[in-house]
Structure 1
Amino acid sequence: MELEEYVAARGPALLRLAHVLCGDSHRAQDLVQTALVDAFRHWRRVQRADHPDAYVRRILVNAHLAAVRKRSSGEVPVGEVPDGAGPDGADPADGVAGRDGFRAALDGLPPRARTVLVLRYWSDLDDVAIADALGVSPVTVRATASRALATLRERAAAPATTTTTTTTTGEEP
């Protein structure tokens, strides 16, 4: 299989994985391009690999982790904020609030923890495949996933425990 055929067949899946890893479609496109450039430079090795998808996925994951380490600014570009309701009169933010909350919690995790969860639950990889992609042991993958899930559970439970209570005095206002 040539690189062009591989990209045609697996490119969309790589782009989806990259988007879930980094949380931004533009950075995901850059990440896939970076990974495919590396794959092109080592294409003979990729072709000879037992699992070319795993090889390219590891290149992608390594490129993502390298980009996170190199990022020198905490700025995150945002598009224009819509100033009105959607066509049906509903606030567009209501439909995505839960998903955005989860993404924010996922973004708050360390890069390796986020990567482990994405590879486990989005790419549906087992611990051995994740360990191979990250270059760590399966025990490290399980421990990282456990800590990351505990952190997400804490963050999900935090708003539910911060409820306000009101008392009535029996007097009319």
Structure 2
Amino acid sequence: MRWFFSGKGDEGKSSLMDGIPIAKNNAAFELIGTLDELNAALGLAISFCEDKSLNDDLLYLQKNISGLMGVIAGFPLSADGSQIGLAKFLEWIEERIEYYGGDIENPKQFVFSGKTSVGAALDMARTIVRRAERRAVDYREITPNMDKSISAVLNRLSSLFFLMRLHMDLM
């Protein structure tokens, strides 16, 4: 077998860190897959982005969302095995919400995306992370000890992507 495929998933099963085969439509895989889509949407936003500060933030988000996928798969977020990385990520998101939302007035109506390519990609990211929030509820039902910070991170990310989009579209 080549490194880029194993054929092990041909029967509709795969495994997380523990190596136990589970169905690919398991709530953990649904959540991980949705976060993977989110990272792809962020990649699209990055490809359009000419704002260095925003681009740096998007790259940071991709890295940490990948780490979150690992946590759901059973890996620790930080090197020492603790979840402190998740708390720091949540704190960073809240700081960036304040930064991007600082000068933006509440539009008080639905705002359609499409004014800029990067804004539209960020709006896609916002809708994908909303789906991830719903998948996290399913995941929590089979994983009662799920870190509640996961849901908080996903909820804050949707606000952050909305404000980033408005920031880009109103520049």
* TM-score (norm. length: structure 2): 0.31
When you count helix as a share of all residues, which structure comes out higher?
1
User: Taking CA–CA contacts closer than 8 Å with sequence separation of 6 or more, which of the two structures ends up with the larger relative contact order?
Assistant: 2
Structure with the greater alpha carbon radius of gyration: 1
Query: TM-score scaled by structure 1?
Result: 0.31
